[in-house]
Amino acid sequence: MRVETIYIKPDSAFSAQISEWANSLGIQVEEYDVKMEEHSAEGLLLINENQDIEKEMFDLHTLFDKKHIPTQKIDVNGTLQVAVSNFEMWLRNFKCKNILIMGSDKLVKNDNLDRFLNRVSA
């Protein structure tokens, strides 16, 4: 297991699903407040569908990018194997052990999110 901590947005249906998945893998989950600098997120994973990224997440991506913190975008409606391979390669290359995972609450209704999470070896 490469990932030690996953940070999630508080009070989010998407975050609840990510938390459940992470807990099943024995990965620690913590709530993330972007205004607090003590978090040690070493990377940002934006999960989206059809490249649709909400403004809040786009702004967060820009913030991480300006700080030269690795970011990765995954479209769960794209080719599953490509998404899984790209994510695992990103984790391997950047050695991110503490990552922030963000996504729209609409994604919890997308079966492709479960397919992606079940195939990933974080």
Regarding the domain delimited by 5-119, which CATH topology (the fold level of the hierarchy) does it fall under?
A: Rossmann fold (3.40.50)
Are 40 and 79 a contacting pair, CB within 8 Å?
no
106 token code pair: 């609409």
Are 70 and 90 a contacting pair, CB within 8 Å?
yes
Please tell me whether the overall predicted TM-score, pTM, comes out greater than 0.85 for this model: yes
* Intra-chain end-to-end CA distance of the chain, in Å: 6
Our CA angle for 59, 66, 96, nearest 5°, is: 95
Look at residue 48 in the predicted model and tell me its pLDDT: 94
Are 75 and 57 a contacting pair, CB within 8 Å?
no
- pLDDT digit string (tens) for 81-122? 999 999 999 999 999 999 999 999 999 999 999 999 999 876
- How many other β-carbons are positioned within 10 Å of the β-carbon of residue 25? 13
